Copies of this chain bind each other. A is one copy, B any other.
Amino acid sequence: MLPAQVRMLAFDIKANTPVIVLEVGKDRIVPIWIGVAEARAIAMALAGLKPVRPMSHDLMKEIVDGLDAKLERVVITGIREDIYYALLHINQQDRTIVVDARPSDSIALALRTSSPIFVSKDTPIVEETEKNKLFIELKNRLRAIRPEDIA
């Protein structure tokens, strides 16, 4: 398992969908294609904006807090047939529950609870070198989004 950080939100002009880009150490990224609503939920957190009324992931945080639980970590566990998978590890007193989730929901929640994000070794990692065709393709397809612009 590798610790990951959110590097940026982007828009894939070929797939016509938002992408959340994680970075795993230096010059290594994990792009994850996500939905528009989840991109907005992530953008709200990245932009540090508090909505007037709790949005779905704010509510999710309030439920976890209210039940005296804590999101210990999020793990992006891999990809199968173009779908990325993640697990939420939630502590409650002396036990931990593990809940299957989409990476987008997981990251939207982790950003609200300041919980760490990890990437399992089964997740495809893209090396950012000019020799890597996949990286060059991503560079051509992805356009960074300012979180403030879609939040």
Taking Cβ atoms with an 8 Å cutoff, the residues of A that contact B are 37-38, 41, 52-57, 59-60, 62-64, 66-67, 69, 83, 85, 88, 90, 92, 97, 99-102, 105
Q: Which residue of B lies closest to A52 (CB)?
A: B83
How many copies of the shown chain assemble into the complex?
2
The SS class assigned to the A binding surface is mixed
Instruction: Assess whether A62 is in contact with B99, with CB atoms less than 8 Å apart.
Output: yes
Instruction: Assess whether A90 is in contact with B66, with CB atoms less than 8 Å apart.
Output: yes
Given known A60-B59, A67-B69, contact A54–B90 (CB-CB < 8 A): no
Instruction: Give 6 CB contacts A-B under 8 Å.
Output: A54-B101, A54-B102, A56-B60, A63-B63, A67-B92, A67-B97
